[in-house]
């Protein structure tokens, strides 16, 4: 007997290891919520150790890289800044005029929505996080971010960028969290095609692409059509950009709609984690327009005060018309600089008449 | 020099190598860390599997199947911990790779360049095949589709990376 074990010792060790792993896999896969988010208690502890082992190095490398990039961009590589500044000023002036027109359209839309008692989920609070690492394998598409339980993050919170949705939180640790990308095969998001209003479930494929499942063939679906979140998954707020239709094929009875994500999932530096969503009437957004604007680095989007629908409608009617931001320096494009149409005479020449924004305001076109 | 100061009973014994404990610990850790960090800088680097390269290197250098199994299992589990999948998939696969690599090293001169090229390429493909078997037969995951052209490319890229890495790690070898 001893001779047998001595002779086949190597193979027996391999078999023992494989048996242990197989049992371990069976126990994990047997969990009813496998593939959704939660690991077993012990598995979670092991994952926590691994992340705790790797993430300090990732933070260190990231901080070093950021420092070097900062020195280069902020002190050395400033050759075209002056020209860009001039161009941006011109763009800003043009945008002010455009904003005034858009604000009026928005107010009109809000009034109509108030009449229909339309309610929608809005992003109430977000936390900005830095991406510090990846899974390092094509087997699963996950990211690691530098915020965790200590920052108020919880599993299943939506992760987005200004460009579009990114994924949702899977495992959340004390100071880091694992983000399951929408391109992972176990991920899923409820989406709706913007123009055709066809609904489906957006899922990742093994090659990292996105596909809408369970959609019946429809000739109205065209490449380039925007895909938005439907809000039906209870993770992503409704109306966020998810991607654009890239191609349409057919698989048996269903259409194979391949979607290109609007967020660049391969090169993410910063993301926003949606901490709170509010089911509020859209006119309430108007009341928050004076609050600080939130960019990709912002700590939160405007807070929404709870209001009754009646008060909200009343406030919407009483809220002043949004005005464009005052110009730093008065010029021919600034609101108020253009004479009233009543003072103008057809055919007469006026020195102060403001030119059309699309042509004159763009100083770079001269 | 160490070989001269000690009597070896076989060619195999003479070719066995050991590593400083710090090397045995740090190299796999750095490989896992680099695997997780590099794709952030360049997404196409996701194709690299540095932990696999490290497992093959340690297995053939130590020429001990048991050591190969243990190294592969530990590195694989560490890799699994960072993924969104059950723990043990990479552990199983890399344990088998470690065992086979060490077993082959007992019969073949694995220090030759050509052998290293063939070995790395083959083990990459073996890993892809075993992953497919585990996903489809053991986990019954219907979503998994293997793109063999992609797997061939992956094997080629990993082999190209493995060769200079093997030469670099050769400096850390010590005679047993």
pLDDT, one tens digit per residue, over B25-70 is 999 999 988 888 888 888 888 899 999 999 999 999 988 999 999 9
Q: Would the CB atoms of B82 and A135 count as touching at under 8 Å?
A: yes
pLDDT given for residue B96 in this prediction: 96
Is residue A348's pLDDT more than 80? Answer: no
Residue A329 in this model has a pLDDT that exceeds 70: no
For helices A9-30 and B89-105, give the axis angle rounded to 10 degrees.
Answer: 170
Q: Which residues of A touch B90 (CB under 8 A)?
A: 137, 139
In the block, which residue shows the tokens 């095609």?
A193
pLDDT, tens digit (0-9, with 9 covering 90-100), for A253-263: 788 899 999 99
- Domains for chain A: give ranges and CATH numbers: 2-76 (no CATH), 88-272 (2.40.10.340)
Of residues A43, A133, A186, nearest to B40 (C-beta): A133
In A136-155, the residues whose Cβ lies within 8 Å of chain B are 136-142, 144
pLDDT value of position B102: 93
Long-range contacts formed by A246-250: CB under 8 A, 24+ apart: A247/A223, A248/A221, A248/A222, A248/A223, A250/A217
Q: Which has the closest alpha carbon to A127: A249, A270, A325, A242? A: A270
Instruction: Compare CB distances from B40 to A47, A134, A140 and report the shortest one's residue.
Output: A134
* pLDDT at residue A161, rounded to an integer: 87
What residue in A sits closest to B87 (Cα-Cα)?
A: A25
**Which of A170, A215, A168 minimizes the C-alpha distance to A191?**
A215
Contact A13 B38 (CB under 8 A): no
Contact: A21, B29; criterion CB under 8 Å: no
Contact assignment for A137 to B92 by CB distance below 8 Å: no
Mean pLDDT computed over every residue of chain A: 74
Residues of chain B neighbouring A46 (CB-CB closer than 8 A): 81, 87
Residues of B with CB below 8 A from A61's CB? 37
Task: Write the pLDDT tens digit of every residue in B70-85.
Answer: 999 999 999 888 888 8
- DSSP-derived secondary structure for B36-95: HHHHHH-GGGGG--HHHHHHHHHHHHHT-HHHHHHHHHHHHHHHHHTSSS-TTHHHHHHH
Q: How many CB atoms are closer than 10 A to CB A301?
A: 20
- Using a pLDDT cut of 90, give the percent of chain B over it: 51
Q: Decide if pLDDT at A214 tops 70.
A: yes
Across the interface, of A11, A18, A186, the residue whose CB is closest to B84 is A186
Mapped onto helix, strand or coil, the DSSP state of residue A260 is strand
A61 → closest Cβ in B37, B66, B144 = B37
Q: Which residue does chain A place closest to B135, by CA atoms?
A: A139
Position A169 confidence tier, pLDDT thresholds 50, 70, 90: very high
Judged against a pLDDT cut of 60, whether residue A357 lies above it is answered with no
Q: What's residue B53's pLDDT?
A: 95
A15-24, A163-172, A310-319: the lowest-pLDDT one? A310-319
A interface test, pick of B30, B71, B86, B134 with most A CB neighbours within 10 Å:
B86
Distance CA A16, CA B108 (A): 26
3-state secondary structure of B19: coil
What does the alpha-carbon distance between residue B58 and residue B52 come to, in Å, rounded to a whole number?
A: 10
CB-facing half-sphere around the CA of A102: CA atoms within 13 A: 7
Handedness of CA A331, A332, A335, A336 (dihedral sign): positive
Q: Any chain A CB within 8 A of the CB of B52? A: no
Signed CA dihedral, A74, A273, A171, B134: sign only: negative
Of the partner residues B33, B38, B69, the one whose CB lies closest to the CB of residue A17:
B69
Nearest residue of B to residue A131 by CA position? B40
Interchain contact A105–B (C-beta under 8 A): no
Tell me the shortest Cα–Cα distance from A262 to chain B, in angstroms: 17
Given the structure tokens 């710090």, which residue do they identify? Answer: B22
Cα-Cα-Cα-Cα dihedral of A201, A202, A204, A208, to 10°?
160
Number of Cβ atoms within 10 Å of the Cβ of B46 = 20
Q: Give chain A positions within 8 Å (CB) of B96.
A: 14, 18
pLDDT of residue B99 exceeding 70, the answer is yes
Three-class SS of residue A166? strand
pLDDT digits (tens, 9 = 90+) for B8-31: 555 555 567 888 999 999 999 999
How far is CA A79 from each of CA A70, A83, A88, rounded to the nearest angstrom? 15, 9, 15
Q: Are A203 and A190 in contact (CB under 8 A)?
A: no
Pair A139, B151: CB distance under 8 Å: no
**Which residues from A are below 8 Å from B86, CB to CB?**
24-25, 28-29, 34
- Torsion, CA B159, CA B163, CA B168, CA B172, rounded to 10: 80
Judge whether A297 and A187 are in contact, CB under 8 Å.
no
Question: How many Å lie between the alpha carbon of A192 and the closest alpha carbon of chain B?
Answer: 23
CA distance A67 to A187: 34
Any chain B CB within 8 A of the CB of A188?
Answer: no
Comparing A48-52, A69-73, A313-317, A362-366, which segment has the lowest mean pLDDT? A362-366
Nearest partner of B78 among B89, B67, B64, judged by Cα: B89
> Residues A96, A325: contact at Cβ < 8 Å?
yes
* pLDDT, greater one: A63 or A264: A264
With cut-offs at 50, 70 and 90, classify the pLDDT of residue B128: very high
Nearest CA in chain B to A266: B43
Q: Look at residue A353 in the predicted model and tell me its pLDDT.
A: 44
A51 touches chain B (CB under 8 A): yes
What phi, psi does B62 have (nearest 5°)?
Answer: -85, -20
A128 phi and psi, to 5 degrees? -80, 140
Q: So what's the pLDDT on residue A20?
A: 92
Average of per-residue pLDDT across B167-174: 88
pLDDT digits (tens, 9 = 90+) for A177-210: 999 999 988 888 999 998 888 888 998 888 888 9
The answer to whether residue A14 neighbours chain B at the CB level (below 8 Å) is: yes
Both tokens assigned to A174: 């004390």
Residue A241 main-chain phi, psi, to 5 deg:
-70, 130
A46 at interface of B, judged by CB pairs closer than 8 A? yes
Helical (H) or strand (E) element with A41: helix A41-71
* Interatomic CA distance for residues A186 and A200, integer angstroms: 16
Phi, psi (rounded to 5 degrees) for B8: -105, 140
């Amino acid at each position: 007997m001893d001779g047998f074990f001595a002779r086949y010792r190597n193979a027996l060790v391999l078999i023992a290891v494989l048996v242990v792993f197989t049992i371990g896999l069976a126990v994990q896969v047997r969990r009813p919520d496998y593939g959704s988010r939660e690991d077993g208690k012990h598995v979670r502890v092991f994952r926590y150790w691994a992340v705790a082992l790797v993430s300090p190095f990732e933070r260190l490398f990231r901080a070093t890289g950021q420092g070097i990039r900062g020195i280069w961009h902020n002190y050395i590589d400033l050759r075209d800044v002056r020209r860009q500044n001039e161009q941006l000023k011109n763009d800003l002036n043009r945008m002010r005029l455009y904003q005034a027109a858009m604000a009026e359209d928005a107010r009109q839309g809000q009034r109509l929505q108030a009449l229909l008692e339309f309610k929608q989920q809005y992003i109430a609070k977000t936390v900005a996080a830095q991406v510090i690492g990846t899974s390092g394998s094509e087997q699963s598409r996950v990211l690691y971010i530098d915020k965790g339980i200590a920052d108020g993050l919880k599993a299943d919170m939506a992760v987005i960028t200004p460009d579009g949705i990114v994924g949702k939180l899977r495992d959340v640790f004390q100071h880091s969290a694992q983000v399951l990308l929408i391109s992972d095969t176990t991920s899923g998001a409820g989406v709706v095609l913007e123009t055709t209003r066809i609904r489906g479930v957006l899922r990742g494929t093994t090659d990292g692409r996105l596909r809408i499942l369970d959609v019946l063939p429809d000739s109205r679906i065209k490449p380039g059509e925007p895909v938005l979140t439907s809000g039906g998954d209870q993770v992503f707020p409704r109306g966020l950009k998810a991607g654009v239709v890239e191609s349409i094929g057919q698989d048996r009875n269903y259409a194979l709609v391949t979607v290109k994500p609007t967020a660049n999932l391969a090169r993410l530096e910063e993301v926003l984690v949606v901490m709170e969503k509010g089911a509020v009437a859209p006119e309430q957004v108007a009341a928050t327009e004076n609050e600080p604007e939130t960019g990709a680095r912002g700590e939160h989007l405007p807070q929404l005060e709870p209001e009754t629908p009646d008060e909200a409608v009343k406030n919407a009617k009483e809220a002043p018309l949004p005005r464009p931001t005052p110009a730093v320096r008065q010029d021919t494009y600034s609101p108020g600089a253009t004479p009233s149409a009543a003072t103008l005479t057809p055919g007469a020449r006026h020195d102060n008449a403001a030119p059309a924004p699309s042509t004159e305001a763009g100083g770079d076109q001269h | 020099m160490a070989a001269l100061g000690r009597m070896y009973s076989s060619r195999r014994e003479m070719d066995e190598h050991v590593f400083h404990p710090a090397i045995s610990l740090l190299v796999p850790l750095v490989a896992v860390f680099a695997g997780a960090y590099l794709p952030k800088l360049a997404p196409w680097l996701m194709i690299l599997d540095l932990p696999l390269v490290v497992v093959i290197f340690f297995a053939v250098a130590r020429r001990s199947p048991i050591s190969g199994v243990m190294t592969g299992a530990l590195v694989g589990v560490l890799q699994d911990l960072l993924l969104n999948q059950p723990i043990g998939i990479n552990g199983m696969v890399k344990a088998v790779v470690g065992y086979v690599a060490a077993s082959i090293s007992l019969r073949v001169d694995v220090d030759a360049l050509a052998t290293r090229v063939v070995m790395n390429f083959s083990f990459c493909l073996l890993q892809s095949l075993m992953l497919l078997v585990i996903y489809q037969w053991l986990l019954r995951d219907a979503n998994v589709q293997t793109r063999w052209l992609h797997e061939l490319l992956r094997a080629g890229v990993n082999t190209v990376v493995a060769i200079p890495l093997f030469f670099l790690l050769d400096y850390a070898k010590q005679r047993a």
